[in-house]
Structure 1
């Protein structure tokens, strides 16, 4: 009975974590470029009550083992692409395919994001391309992208080349957006604010040349929406809630059986 109590309790803890993950997905259903999470679980060690015993073709061919519950093994990001929503804002860009934009964090480190809702931060005669939080967007050389305040009509090509129109009407290429990809995006460390940090598990950031055929094109005037499917998340939440309830019933059943055993001599 103690084994049943432990197994059911571990199941309740696992389903609580599952609900936490699903709740976070639903909370971010309208967050630009948000990627849904999925909780993964593994069974715990088994207690062997009896091993198989086959001799000359005779004997018991199967083991007798009882598991002792479940544990969370990972929370995995689903980096599948969300749908593209048109905004008609020339500073809004989306990646149609794989990849991340590079931005400079306040601590001086480089972070990566799929959120292309960029803004212009104006300081006297210079304007810097930034995120909504004011973090500078980096070019393919790792430098902040700046404009002269007299330059207008910003256009961005599918390869991320940023062009502007000078006062005399000529077009000028200013910079190329820094777009990178990783061998293992699930190894990225989520820093919040739609930012990710490279880790040893994700591998070093690679350029378009390193990921030929696996890097998305830039689409100007669009934003990538969250890839959360509300109906699927609600179904997952109901299933997790039912599993939580069943585990609680198992604890109650085990407790009742222990109570009966304790009262046998009364």
Structure 2
């Protein structure tokens, strides 16, 4: 396999990565709080010591560098549940992970467990500013509300405040696949910095038409790459055929 084939192969691997990311975005178009992802690539230039011509000494390949999150806020999606919340602006709700660590989510589906503690729809307990679960008194379970700054009210009494953590670089967070992300370096936002909207959740910020268009573009680029590969194979075959006749 010559250099041109390796270059085409790196290009096709990049296209496959782009297609996988776009397909994952489409699969999460209805996932609350989901942030669209975009693949990132770097150029790798290899300098050869010898080449037929000067311009052929440098060969450019495509390297998969990772992916970034589109942090644009999704639309408000009403749920009818007064406990559900959408974070307006930056930040993530803090949840307790199975191993005791802290996870982060934008999916603000909130429910009250049988123990009286607030939790996400997936059962992860929501944490307060001190990293502790928020418990509702048994006689106040029917009078729970959440204010705009995250304060949890049981009747007229505050019982805690939902912790909302902000990150300087949100692309450092890693998705687990269940709407919860993990990472470090976050700072719990103050009540003045926190803005929650009750009665609904944040919809995914994925735009289906844009993702569908991107998938079509990737497929067309792959078809072009395949044609180039076929043309190169045909060129090699003809060259071998001519050299065999000379011999």
TM over 0.5: yes
TM norm structure 1: 0.85
**1:162 is the counterpart of 2:147:** no
1:119–1:132: 8 Å Cα contact kept in structure 2?
Answer: yes
Q: In structure 2, how many angstroms separate the alpha carbons of the residues matched to 1:250 and 1:11?
A: 12
Q: In structure 1, how many angstroms separate the alpha carbons of the residues matched to 2:77 and 2:121?
A: 18
Q: In structure 2, how many angstroms separate the alpha carbons of the residues matched to 1:256 and 1:64?
A: 21
Q: In structure 2, how many angstroms separate the alpha carbons of the residues matched to 1:140 and 1:184?
A: 21
1:26 counterpart SS class: helix
2:149–2:195: 8 Å Cα contact kept in structure 1?
Answer: yes
1:44 counterpart SS class: strand
Q: In structure 2, how many angstroms separate the alpha carbons of the residues matched to 1:119 and 1:25?
A: 27
**CA distances 1:20-61 after superposition (whole Å, capped 9, x unpaired):** 00000000000010111101122221446566xxxxxxxxxx
Q: Which residue of 2 aligns with 1:206?
A: 187
Equivalent of 2:134 in 145, 148, 152:
145
**CA distances 1:98-133 after superposition (whole Å, capped 9, x unpaired):** 00110101111111111110111113xxx1111122
TM norm structure 2: 0.91
Q: In structure 1, how many angstroms separate the alpha carbons of the residues matched to 2:227 and 2:9?
A: 11
Q: In structure 2, how many angstroms separate the alpha carbons of the residues matched to 1:245 and 1:83?
A: 36
**1:192 is the counterpart of 2:182:** no
2:22–2:215: 8 Å Cα contact kept in structure 1?
Answer: yes
Q: In structure 2, how many angstroms separate the alpha carbons of the residues matched to 1:196 and 1:109?
A: 11
Unpaired segments ≥5 residues, structure 1: 52-62, 166-170
2:143 counterpart SS class: strand
Q: Which residue of 2 aligns with 1:75?
A: 67
1:104–1:138: 8 Å Cα contact kept in structure 2?
Answer: yes
Alpha-carbon offset, residue 192 of structure 1: 2.0
2:168 counterpart SS class: coil
**1:119 is the counterpart of 2:147:** no
**1:132 is the counterpart of 2:121:** yes
Name the structure where strand makes up a greater proportion of residues.
1
How many aligned positions are there? 240
C-alpha RMSD of matched pairs (Å)? 1.9
Alpha-carbon offset, residue 208 of structure 1: 2.3
Q: Which residue of 2 aligns with 1:241?
A: 219
